[in-house]
Structure 1
Amino acid sequence: MHKNPIGVFDSGVGGLSVLREIRKLLPEEDLLYVADSAHAPYGDKSKEFILERSATIVDFFVSQNVKAIVVACNTATGAAVKELRPKYELPMIAMEPAVKPASERSQTGIIGVLATSRTIDSNNFQILFARFADKVKILPQACPGLVEQVERGNLNGDKIRTLIAQYIQPLLAQNVDVIVLGCTHYPFLAPIIQELAGSSVTVIDSGSAIARELKSRLEKTTLLANRPYPGAVQFWSSDETGTAKRVISQLWDAEIDVSNLPERISA
């Protein structure tokens, strides 16, 4: 199975921020990426809907003979991973906001977490926050609209800057010195977030940590690819309008061929 691909999925294009870290750390691996853009964002969907979509995509990956799955979506992690893991024997790596490194870096003892409302309300997040409650004060900030902007490829301009300022100003007013990007879409907005937050604030995300965890899990199960050449990357999307193809190519910084998911999976 070490020659089999790794499946990575997100509600849309945000998981590309994780995929690029995996590609950087494990360039020899074959990667399959699914952007469920027709149903993005997951952040305003019910837990039941997210679980159903996640299970459908995982089943698709199983049909493609993947050796591991990365749930590159904080919202899907919170809503679905606990239910999905017992049903599959494959390694399943899920997102966790970088609260631990943030708590270690903070000098003020106050950190902000930008995420979707669904992610913030999830049991996973509540447990994570409670785990570090005695070390730092954590200020979760829901960010409606940011995912939609990234899904359209709007990474700059007055509208996105106004939205970001609206979300980070309350955090800065409470003396945060570390901001955690708790949604995989947000790293594509990191330059603006950093600019508006100022040089005294550290902005961090979980992408590189997830890539390292994936490598560790593959090593432990002797599933690392050992080929002496780069692996392939294949992209699928549930969006049939062409927007996902354009935005994936934009974010991946290359003209990408994006296949439509089979209708039974896209619906």
Structure 2
Amino acid sequence: MGLDVYVGPLTRYGLGDWLTAVQQAAQAQGMEVRMVRAEPDPEDAITDPVEAADAVRSWQLGLSDALGTSEVWPEDAELPYWTDKPDWDGYGGMVLLAAYDEQPDLKPGNRSGFLRRASPADSPRQFHDAPAYKRASANPTKYPTPLAGVEWWLPYEVGPTVFEAPRLTGQPARMGRVNQLIVELELLAASLGLDREEDLVQLRQAGPPDSPSDVDKAGRFGLAVFIQLARAAQIAKQPLLLDY
């Protein structure tokens, strides 16, 4: 099961009126790809665009009220969307790079004492098992949203860094703010020497590395995907979601 990132109106997302990067590539070649997600659509899912937009706006108002703000963002099934596929390797690699920056002593390859063996490499897809992630995620300081397991970032200007809220389906999710995500991603990029925009563009255009198990290469690709989509979300004032 792969991982995509979606930026755009929740109305469009809820209606399923969007194509992943893989689907778009297949469509360009005259092929069709059917996506199987972790959570199937409910049987009573709304299919009318007007009704769906009304439901999202109602959800918006309820969430904003709960967060103590009057902020809302544009919602309409006809608004544009953006998407790309960092997959779990790119996402997990990015999370591990953030964890290493917070806990450098636990980065694989480091020796913590005389005659101590260097720790084995971590797996991007199994980032939850990495010692650096376990310690960093317990009390993140530099990168609270990636390390706290946020899956939805909303275009609020102010509000809590990380919060729990129901999705449109009523299922709980950990959420954050788009502008906070950008701050964290840019900080991570700077720590990796990726200060130039052209470097990030080149990384994204090059696609995922040949060896997805390479944390550094996979993480840099994932970071390039996320940072450009997060900026698109900020400009368009739209949510950014993990889709799997």
TM-score (norm 1): 0.28
Q: Give the structure with the higher percent strand.
A: 1
Rg comparison, structure with higher value: 2
